[in-house]
Structure 1
Amino acid sequence: MILFIRKIPKGTLPSELHDVVSPALNGGLFSESGQILHVDILAIKIKDTDLYEFHGLVHVDSETAGHRALNKLRGTTIKGMPVTFHEYTQRDWHNDRRESQLAPLAASTEKRAKDRRRGVNIEIIDDIASIWAIFAVNQPTLTPEAART
């Protein structure tokens, strides 16, 4: 199972995510403990505004431990900012319900000014270290209140 951590603070390290999630995987009296297999940081650059979003992906060895961790981690903060935890869902053409809707009917009744999905307007950043270096040199530190806006 993969836990998705939405909008983590900039500069968060994989080891910090490991330290947050690890205690929630501990088993109780009658349940076995889970283990973290791998931690990733996903950096997304929004091309229109040159802003970055950071998300965490924590790979856990069992579904049971993952669901237990999701329940325990509600309301968690990282570096003073609240984050949300979800089960990561890999979208594919056969399990994406957005693709199966009737396109002609949707197009004729569409009233939105632009598409809500950001597909072509984002860029996935592979080298996170280069992003941290940019923030360390060029960006002022945001307070948790300013980052939420």
Structure 2
Amino acid sequence: YPLRAALLHLGDDLRVRGAYLRTDPETGVDVAGSALLADGAGVTAQCDFGLAHAYRNTYAIWGSEGRVELDWAFNPRPESRPVLRLHRGDVREERVLPAVDQFQRTFAAFEEACRAPEAHRHHAEDAVRQAALMESVLRAATSPG
């Protein structure tokens, strides 16, 4: 989810500048990790994940004049109402967003893509870009030095 959010907010021109993966020694599965990404203009994204931590799904975008933070950004329960926080200087605003069943919307989008695949070709292209970024993170995390 964090890599997908970075692609959505910063575009396709992301490069991995550093990465680390923590692997479970018994299963060989990565259970936590971090990646530093940067776009061509030098805007960075710090993406962290972990299955060995207390559950959290938030993101924050920092700009020159403030920041935006979103709690329950990824897969909230259908009845959950995400909280959006806007910070500008010493002014802070909180907005409680409406509940949305993301799983239902995902299945509906999949069904629509099956019915009209040409109209949704960009989803496949997005998935390929995300997979390529994930592969770049894996390569950076496993390369020596």
Q: Could you say which structure has the higher strand fraction?
A: 2
TM-score normalised by the chain length of structure 2: 0.29
Per the normalisation by structure 1, the TM-score is 0.28
Higher RCO (C-alpha 8 Å, min separation 6): 1
